[in-house]
Structure 1
């Protein structure tokens, strides 16, 4: 039985990667990927194991059949990310929220993803600064300010995406437009609820589905 080849194929498909894309990431031809998967080549060279495991979001041990490897642990990064619809309602996020689908990891730079990250995409009705309709946002749960950047926040029972920067006086400056020079508001943090940091935003047109 070609267990290694079957494992490569399964992990590749779960990651949403084509043979050509996986080949590009590993530095081999797509023919080589086919040979690995169908068992024509039964071993993967040592120099290819690390980039192959990295591309498939797995440890080398798991790739080679070690059931105790970290790919089966609770700390492993998933093969896909839950995608939630973003509306202005706070019920969009939190324990009771349900994802609209799961997004394959093959379309996203693996280096960006951490455990428990998820995706948001704006829905009608409602306008969101920094992320118009047709964008994907990488979201990472947080309950407080954790450095300058974009955040999903709740203010006056409404969700919004804001750029938040802390000044030398420890006030939080809240910006609502991409190129705004002056903040909408300046506060110590009272009256704002942090739901998630937004480390990355993509246009779905650029991602070439």
Structure 2
């Protein structure tokens, strides 16, 4: 599996940018770019990941998973869950992602469907969801309530919702 650092370097070279030019676009030093590419810095905050993807003229999915990134599925209030869809591809959590929960099981990357309300996420954002029916720890969960799905902050297990997934990471689109 290709590392995030080598993917950043490959995408930078594809975009015909040197480290200094990419650093200016992202708002970091060229030393930081070197550290990212070498793997000396393994976790990159979501604001920087979004800025990197924009600067490298690629999608967040391509930046995080490479050109073989699984098809990005949409999250909707009704219908099959993303991981139940025929074209879904579960992935293991890459080591370089800062997660909101310790997660070792397969997960899936989605974006909210157009005209949907999954606040605080909006269409175009990327969400990394860990399918589960169990409360793990305080955080945002994809829940079903009154036959409709929502992202809901849970601080404890509750019987008024059906847990479908835990939100592992959220990247805001520009």
TM range (shorter): 0.5 to 0.7
Q: 2:35 aligns with which of 24, 44, 58?
A: 24
Distance 2:167 2:133 in 1: 13
Gaps of 5+ in 2: 13-18, 20-32, 44-64
Structure 2 partner of 1:131: 121
Gaps of 5+ in 1: 1-9, 28-50, 56-77, 167-171, 173-187
Q: Which has the higher strand share?
A: 1
Cα RMSD, aligned residues only: 3.8
Q: 2:82 aligns with which of 85, 93, 99?
A: 93
Aligned positions, number:
125
Structure 2 length as normaliser, TM-score? 0.54
Give the direction of change, closer, same or farther, for the CA distance of 1:111–1:149 in structure 2 (3 Å limit): closer
Shift of 1:12: 5.9
Structure 1 outlier segments of 4+, above 2 Å: 10-13, 15-27, 78-83, 92-99, 108-115
Structure 2 partner of 1:200: 169
**Larger RCO (CA under 8 A, 6+ residues apart):** 2
Q: Is the 8 A contact 2:9 2:37 kept in 1?
A: no
